[in-house]
Chain A
């Protein structure tokens, strides 16, 4: 069973701005919803887990291997969707996914099969041959999600993945994640409570760079009437 350890990770940017402060999480397969207001440090933490940012202190371990010192082992099993991810405007969806598949070192035949499956799963078939620069924001976001899912990643790090999706697509994406997360770790960052309310196995609330609540949805809700109320109470207390 896979294990992701975030061990007392802190990140201070130049100018002394502390984005993340001694975050410690031990993550096992399932959907982990990372909730927090804008500027809470979610994206910084996601970047550190995805090995594109270095922590100022602390470390991240994937199955016991230090991913800060040796990121390649983690990158081989990673699917990453950064916030505001871009796409090459002159490639079409298929070409772009094939490019990412090459970067993920997925063998050609397997890549073609996976791309076909993902285009179907995300309902991108009708626009697969259109230049990405001509697609709507929602379709581009679905292509960005598809690239994260390529390669059957064991660790999926998705930062605000539902931005730009219509309500129907949001529900389809949640269902897709629920099926996908069976034996994988899915770290989903959002400030939209409904994105994780019914699908997450574990909720982590982060505010001002610190973890202020961590547990199953039921544990986090506690005495509050809903997850949203609990979230607002925790964030308010941290402020």
Chain B
């Protein structure tokens, strides 16, 4: 047990002492602030058919639990997905693999670390919610139990499940990259949505609801109907950014029964069981370049013969080697499909795939110097850093351009917008790599943007919608590309 906790403690420290964690904490606190809008705000976050609770401890405690259930599964994308493969990324895998501690103990330690990271984030949101209750001032009486009980009964079991599922996803080698991120987005959404849709005509506590969303929703509606019998809100629950609630009511809190508490507590051993089941498959040896087949070298050989500048050719060969032949083949297939299929199929299937397909190799290429420990060596050469940055950016763009260009052709002249957006995305990848020295931040943010934009049609994040404003978006994308590349070069030029 001591050893498991030691593994968890070390993993927790390694993960929380990063710049990425500071960004996540800042983003979480900002969300905590936005989640409790002022009475005069034009939006609401938890809305029951036009009703919301008075900002007292009961409502704020429940709302914090809502925020945790909505936020933590997606935060898991940043925090959890690389958990078990972190040792491979950091190069500490041989130390872990050769240690006498059993693999199950190590994996349990990782799970404990996952739980600790997300629980800490949840606790931070609880503290922020107490501050927000005092700030909004609708009811300044603080009832600590109204915050603590939902945190313990709803958030902690939810965190245990998320932590275990993240390890399960990471235990499958094919899901250790961008594909795992995509899978995770759908898993996280399913954890929230499926229990709500399975709870029948009304919202009742569902028996299988790891995050406890139906417990929260049914408590809120029960309380609303009890205190406001005239309220005609049935089950039109809105979480997020709906129009401002017209009415307020006094939420009576969640009435916990022994059965409800037992149901919630059962998720802890269930998570533990999942971890034990996936333990034999987690923390397996990372894939090494030594396993790359001759087929994998063919595209590199081709690139080395291209009449390009030597810098660009070398960067391209490295990027192509990182991507591997199947990614390149997939790009060509996507390009052909983008040219041949009808518009409906393009919009629904091909366009989203085009924007996600090269994400992993681009993210990996952005940190290849840091991974190979080449920063100092390259900085000591007389070539200006901006030339290296531009060559690397060109190589990343080359990985993405084939299917994007095919998509752009369908839009005629306006299609240039898509190419400009791809260029800006590649520049952002390099900037993230230079500033964070890790591919996780860029790939996680891009996955979220992809999920909201190309997949769910949020126009602000959907390149397809940008084609309607070709001039302004293209100009903005070019400006962003130039600025971000300049910032990247400045960062890489910095001497210690």
Q: A91-B318, A99-B310 are in contact. Are A51 and B289 (CB under 8 A)?
A: no
Distance of A88 Cα from B288 Cα, bound (Å): 13
A88 touches B368 (CB 8 A): yes
Asked whether any CB of chain B lies closer than 8 Å to the CB of A195, the reply is: no
* Chain B residues within an 8 Å CB radius of A80: 376-377, 380
Interface set, chain A 44-84, CB cutoff 8 A to B: 47, 50-54, 72, 75-76, 78, 80-82, 84
Distance of A134 Cα from B288 Cα, bound (Å): 8
* Chain A residues within an 8 Å CB radius of B388: 103
B290 touches A133 (CB 8 A): yes
Distance of A101 Cα from B313 Cα, bound (Å): 13
Asked whether any CB of chain A lies closer than 8 Å to the CB of B372, the reply is: yes
* Chain B residues within an 8 Å CB radius of A101: 310
Size class of the contact patch on chain A: 35 or more
Using CB atoms, name the residue of chain B closest to A81: B377
* Chain B residues within an 8 Å CB radius of A134: 289-290, 292
A86 touches B383 (CB 8 A): no
Q: A88-B372, A99-B314 are in contact. Are A51 and B495 (CB under 8 A)?
A: yes
Partner of A90, one of B310, B322, B379, B382: B322
Chain A at the B interface: SS class: mixed
Distance of A108 Cα from B496 Cα, bound (Å): 32
Distance of A215 Cα from B314 Cα, bound (Å): 43
A76 touches B382 (CB 8 A): yes
Min CB distance, B481 to chain A, in Å? 23
Distance of A87 Cα from B289 Cα, bound (Å): 12
Q: A78-B380, A90-B317, A131-B292 are in contact. Are A103 and B495 (CB under 8 A)?
A: no
B382 touches A84 (CB 8 A): no
Min CB distance, A95 to chain B, in Å? 6
Min CB distance, B184 to chain A, in Å? 27
Chain B at the A interface: SS class: helix
* Chain A residues within an 8 Å CB radius of B314: 91, 95-96, 98-99, 102
A51 touches B380 (CB 8 A): yes
Q: A76-B382, A95-B304 are in contact. Are A131 and B321 (CB under 8 A)?
A: yes
Asked whether any CB of chain B lies closer than 8 Å to the CB of A104, the reply is: yes
* Chain B residues within an 8 Å CB radius of A81: 377
Distance of A218 Cα from B380 Cα, bound (Å): 33
* Chain A residues within an 8 Å CB radius of B317: 90-91, 95
Q: A50-B380, A85-B374, A134-B289 are in contact. Are A98 and B496 (CB under 8 A)?
A: no
* Chain A residues within an 8 Å CB radius of B375: 52
Partner of A86, one of B320, B374, B380: B374
B380 touches A52 (CB 8 A): yes
Distance of A91 Cα from B301 Cα, bound (Å): 10
Distance of A78 Cα from B368 Cα, bound (Å): 23
Proximity string of chain B (278-294) to chain A, C-beta cutoff 8 Å, 1 when within and 0 when not: 00000000001110100
Partner of A103, one of B311, B322, B372, B373: B311
Partner of B496, one of A47, A76, A85, A103: A47
Min CB distance, A100 to chain B, in Å? 7
Asked whether any CB of chain A lies closer than 8 Å to the CB of B381, the reply is: yes
* Chain A residues within an 8 Å CB radius of B381: 75, 78, 100, 103-104
Asked whether any CB of chain A lies closer than 8 Å to the CB of B449, the reply is: no
* Chain A residues within an 8 Å CB radius of B374: 85-88
Distance of A72 Cα from B384 Cα, bound (Å): 9
B371 touches A86 (CB 8 A): yes
Proximity string of chain B (363-402) to chain A, C-beta cutoff 8 Å, 1 when within and 0 when not: 0000010011111111111110000100000000000000
A90 touches B321 (CB 8 A): yes
* Chain A residues within an 8 Å CB radius of B297: 131
Using CB atoms, name the residue of chain B closest to A79: B380
Distance of A85 Cα from B380 Cα, bound (Å): 12
Min CB distance, A111 to chain B, in Å? 8
Distance of A130 Cα from B377 Cα, bound (Å): 22
Q: A78-B380, A88-B372 are in contact. Are A53 and B495 (CB under 8 A)?
A: yes
Asked whether any CB of chain A lies closer than 8 Å to the CB of B300, the reply is: yes
Interface set, chain B 287-336, CB cutoff 8 A to A: 288-290, 292, 297, 300, 304, 309-311, 314-315, 317-318, 320-322
Proximity string of chain A (114-134) to chain B, C-beta cutoff 8 Å, 1 when within and 0 when not: 000000000000000001111
A89 touches B372 (CB 8 A): yes
A82 touches B290 (CB 8 A): no
Distance of A89 Cα from B290 Cα, bound (Å): 9
Interface set, chain B 313-363, CB cutoff 8 A to A: 314-315, 317-318, 320-322
Min CB distance, A136 to chain B, in Å? 11
A104 touches B376 (CB 8 A): no
Distance of A51 Cα from B380 Cα, bound (Å): 6
Distance of A131 Cα from B321 Cα, bound (Å): 10
Partner of B495, one of A54, A72, A96, A133: A54
Residues of chain B at the chain A interface (Cβ within 8 Å): 288-290, 292, 297, 300, 304, 309-311, 314-315, 317-318, 320-322, 368, 371-383, 388, 495-496
Could you show 28 A-B contacts with beta carbons less than 8 Å apart? A52-B376, A52-B496, A53-B496, A80-B376, A80-B380, A85-B376, A86-B371, A87-B372, A88-B321, A88-B368, A88-B372, A89-B321, A90-B289, A90-B321, A95-B314, A95-B317, A99-B310, A99-B318, A102-B309, A102-B310, A103-B311, A104-B381, A104-B383, A105-B382, A105-B383, A131-B292, A133-B292, A134-B289
Residues of chain A at the chain B interface (Cβ within 8 Å): 47, 50-54, 72, 75-76, 78, 80-82, 84-91, 95-96, 98-105, 108, 131-134, 147
A-B complex: 4 closest residue pairs judged by Cβ atoms: A133-B289, A90-B321, A86-B373, A86-B372
